[in-house]
Amino acid sequence: MNFNWCSTAIGSLHPSLERPLSGAGVQAGMAVVALRSPSFRSNGFSLARRTLQNLFGDNWHSAPYDGADATPHGSAGHTWGEVLLTPSLIYSPGVARVLDAGLPLYAAAHITGGGIADNFKRVLKNGVGAELTNLFEPLPAMQKLTELAGITPADAYLYWNMGNGMLLVTDEAQAEAVAESLRGNGYDAQVAGRITEQSGIRLTVGAGELSYE
């Protein structure tokens, strides 16, 4: 049996903000902070299901996941079904704490419903681009699925978050303070790169250099 569960959330603007973190104020020279994602979120599930069904049949969700990160009670689970159902991490409390601390944020890109390139482009206004050289490593399950599906690294970073669930843009001088605030509130966060005058998004990852216009 298949079902589609849809939901929505309605929020209010943080008191320190006059407008949403749309990227309208993003400028070259600013820094990008990445927050780690422990799950697929809603990234590329059609491709993941299709790949696993081709490999294991209709009961692919019961097929054992033998990745090195599988633990009896860990988020990775023991089956591919459990891996894909690993809960999403909600970032809004951490972002709110950053704003509570008076730290500047100019854009927030939620890496879901697609990969880094497509989602981050939405907040890169005024012709700027980004160089991301210190992203979190892909989740082991994503890496394994990439290999099983024969997906190129360039496509994998379009389909899945590859371990990075949100990207924030802040002033370069405040970037480490933003990351530290997030870490202090229980999130894995690190300075991942910078905003550039040149348009497009360029990633330096374990698989090499990837470029998206």
Radius of gyration of the chain (CA): 18
23: left (phi over 0), alpha (psi -120 to 50) or beta: left
Residue 130: which H helix or E strand, with range? strand 129-132
The DSSP 8-state label assigned to residue 31 in this structure reads E
The verdict on residue 203 lying in a domain is yes
118 in any annotated domain: yes
Q: Mind listing the pLDDT tens digit for each residue in 179-189?
A: 999 999 999 99
| Torsion over CA: 140, 141, 143, 147 (sign) | positive
pLDDT at 20: 87
**Domain annotation covers residue 14:** no
Indicate whether 109 pLDDT > 70: yes
In a domain, 12, yes or no: no
Q: Scanning the structure block, which residue is given the tokens 């979190």?
A: 136
Give the separation between CA 35 and CA 91, rounded to whole angstroms: 8
Report the pLDDT value the prediction gives residue 43, as an integer from 0 to 100: 80
CATH number for the domain harbouring residue 133:
3.90.650.10
Over residues 33-76, the pLDDT tens digits come to: 999 999 988 888 888 889 999 999 999 999 998 765 544 434 44
- Per the structure, the complete domain to which residue 122 belongs is given by 31-43+87-212
> What 3-state class would DSSP assign to 35?
strand
Please check whether residue 134 is in contact with residue 126, taking contact to mean a CB–CB distance below 8 angstroms.
Answer: no
Looking at the 3D structure of the chain, how many domains does it have? 1
pLDDT, the chain, mean: 90
| The total number of residues written for the chain in this structure | 213
- CA 103 to chain CA centroid, Å, is 21
